[in-house]
Structure 1
Amino acid sequence: MAPHDHPDLSIDQRHALLTAATRLSTEFAGVFGVETIDRFLTSSYDQFAGRARIPHYLPLLAERFARQRLHALAKVEGKSLDGRPVVVFLCVHNAGRSQMALGFLQHHAGEAAVGWSGGSQPGDAIELGAVAAMAERGIDITSEYPKPWTDEVVRAADVVITMGCGDACPIFPGKRYEEWELDDPAELDLTGVRTVRDDIERRVLRLLDSLGVAAAGK
């Protein structure tokens, strides 16, 4: 089923998804066919349809998530090898710890590394305490959103960082895994979130050093 043929879509959503499918088809021309792109866009839409707070943004979320998953699949299948290390941060709700870690990785690594994140039980929105604590460091994470992880995203990673997701975290042989034991920001006041934030930054900087990525922004 093409994404814009989904039975529960409004006219505006159909148009937005059709436009998204066209953009993705152009972006991944020669890499993936229309059927693969439509399948990923439809399944990405379904991931958010039952819990998105603002339905108007569903096509945009679906397009962004589908694009990430297609980039991951391209790496897994050897169709995209640019030499940059890929790090995936996994926690439970993808609303606090993993989002702060992703923010620091993108801030310090820039274009020298690729960062993704996901949760075993994605929340509805990024935690306000995490947003505020990161804003104090000049890093805006409000453009991100809680999302699940998928097999292709984890398989594409060079390093998988887990944060409290336990047995729910996916395990693929041969991957480099690290468990970061960190308090959940959702259970802390802003002072406590700052402590977790600073710990995460130190860990991200050590990780980048281990990957041979020179950290900027320090």
Structure 2
Amino acid sequence: MDDLYLPAPAPPDRWDGDPQERPEVLDRRQGPYGEAVLRRHGGRLEIIANGTFLMDTADGRSERLLVDAALAALPAGRAGASVLIGGLGVGFSLARAVAEPRWERIAVVEREAAVVGWHRAGHFAPYVGDVLADPRVQLVQEDLTVHLRTTEDRFDALCLDIDNGPDWTVTENNGNLYNPSGLLDCRERLTAGGVLAVWSAQPSTAFEAALRRAGFTGVRTLEVPVRRGVPDVVHIAVKA
């Protein structure tokens, strides 16, 4: 979800700029979480949820860093690493994981059927390839907060990017991921020495403190500059 501090794109049905640059709506779907819209604007694709801009294909550096930083923080020599990616989105994080042979098992959790359908239809293939086709990938269509609470699987890394970060949630229930019980669920899903990586559109010292209170060590924040405004960040924490 890069460059969220640029002027927010207009909702799908309103455009006050140059008519020649009007975004083209490619698909519109209603689901249990509201309306999801895929549109093309210039050379990029955009995902709009309930009239709110979520992400586009313009720049995936911070989404790729989410996966790279988690792998780098794992104990040296750990073989057959496993990762759970929370949020499929346009596929930048999953594509990065698929490109790394050290990930032996890759799960991706996405609640929006529309997003999964757009990947199946090939809309994002020019940007990330067919990320769901890799045999290591297991797709789970479920709300991430529910999945973390109910699954018994454990992973060496959790790479989570389901909204704009702990201080700027897209939907109210996403806040459950960042509260004490949600962070406890994250710890329970990690193996010993496992890494939690959380994407955010802005730094959060409060979230860093929450990670430490939840029993994580090695808490740090990595920044990725954007074209305008504060940098995107990846929060890193390790299960002791």
Task: State whether TM-score is above 0.5.
Answer: no
Q: Which has the higher strand share?
A: 2
TM-score (norm. length: structure 2): 0.31
TM-score (norm. length: structure 1): 0.33
Q: Which has the higher helix share?
A: 1
